[in-house]
Amino acid sequence: MTTTPHTPQPVLRTDFQRTVAAYWDNTHTGDDVNVLLGDVDELYHHHYGIGDYDRAVLEGAPQQREKAVIRELHRLESAQADLLLDHLGPLTAHQRLLDAGSGRGGTSFMAQRRFGCAIDGVSISQYQVDFANAQALRHHVADRVRFHFRNMLDTGLDTGSRQAVWTNETTMYVDLGQAFAEFARVLAPGGRYVCITGCSNDLTGGRSQAVSRIDTHYSCNIHPRSAYFNALAANGLTPITVTDLTPQATPYWELRARSHLATGIEEAFLRAYKEGSFHYLLIAADRT
Ligand code: GPP
Ligand code: MG
């Protein structure tokens, strides 16, 4: 990674960031759902799925059914990442990308396969960085896809060095103003930022119980919808596509709720989506 000279600061700067890092380093490492799903094809995701599911996966003998459900949930999660990549714009292999909040690396590896680009991922979880770099070796792309223990609010990447930046369900862990300022800085003029996120609905007046429950479950801080557009506008990021993915996101949670993999948060998502207090959004914006 090329770095800009800057005063070195600790990666974790606030109590909130330390809590988030500890969650992903410790609490969320025995996460059977994500590991079982990732084992299907060695693409390990930390986001949800989109699209309808095949009802046949819920039929059959228990063992066969469990395997089928795992494959189906993974297929929906990979479809979500594919949709995100669809919005990164035309890219050529010499361009460089940033995965901000890169988790176990699933979306980065899919991007590398599709575009051939070099990708840097940043995460404040050392566990995730180590896991994802080990995956890069296994996939034989360690020279093209690199993960760093860095804060997405201060990536150290060169100004204007990225043709595209994305956040796949990670912005609920950061201050949007600070994050978008950093993304705007590293993006080349005309570069693209793509965000998939869950956000609360300003119109329903305050945070619903279901949204608060999701925050507590994941130690995150879900932002209201308006906060995204205010922070984009304030940082020279101009939306070109905004899609409400909520209807496409719901079947994933219905299948998860009915499966042996339910973790207990499924009903909160289903309730939040149904009552309209929460949206699953895709936003693509250009650096203008
Ligand atoms: C899923 O991670 C994403 C988050 C924890 C961020 C919160 C996202 C929102 C849209 C509110 P995961 O794949 O590790 O979760 P799980 O283990 O439940 O599958
Ligand atoms: Mg998951």
| Rounded average pLDDT over 253-272 | 97
| Rounded average pLDDT over 1-28 | 83
| Rounded average pLDDT over 121-145 | 98
CB-based contacts of 3-9 (< 8 A; 24+ apart in sequence): 3/156, 3/157, 3/158, 4/156, 4/157, 4/158, 4/159, 6/154, 6/156, 9/154
| Rounded average pLDDT over 144-165 | 98
Q: 94: CA distance to ligand 2 center in Å?
A: 31
User: If you search the block for the tokens 């936003």, which residue do you land on?
Assistant: 283
Instruction: Tokens for 190, please give them.
Output: 């005309």
Burial (CB count within 10 angstroms: exposed 0-12, middle 13-18, buried 19+), residue 33: middle
- As a whole number of angstroms, the distance between CA 275 and CA 269 comes to 10
Q: 236: CA distance to ligand 2 center in Å?
A: 32
Residues with Cβ within 8 Å of 153's Cβ and at least 6 positions away in sequence, in order, are 174, 175, 178, 179, 182
Q: What local confidence, expressed as pLDDT, does residue 2 receive?
A: 57
Domain spans of the chain, in order of start: 15-287
Q: What local confidence, expressed as pLDDT, does residue 9 receive?
A: 84
Q: What pTM does this model have?
A: 0.96
Q: 34: CA distance to ligand 1 center in Å?
A: 9
Q: CATH class for domain 15-287?
A: alpha beta
Digit-coded pLDDT (tens) for 95-127: 999 999 999 999 999 999 999 999 999 999 999
**To the nearest whole number, what is the mean pLDDT of the chain?**
95
Is the pLDDT score of 1 beyond 80?
no
245 CA to centre of own chain:
14
- As a whole number of angstroms, the distance between CA 215 and CA 272 comes to 12
| Mutate-to-test residue for ligand 1 from 220, 228, 255, 267, highest number of ligand atoms within 8 A of CB | 220
| Rounded average pLDDT over 142-150 | 98
Q: What local confidence, expressed as pLDDT, does residue 11 receive?
A: 97
281 closest CA partner among 226, 204, 235: 226
Q: How confident is the model at residue 89 (pLDDT cuts 50, 70, 90)?
A: confident
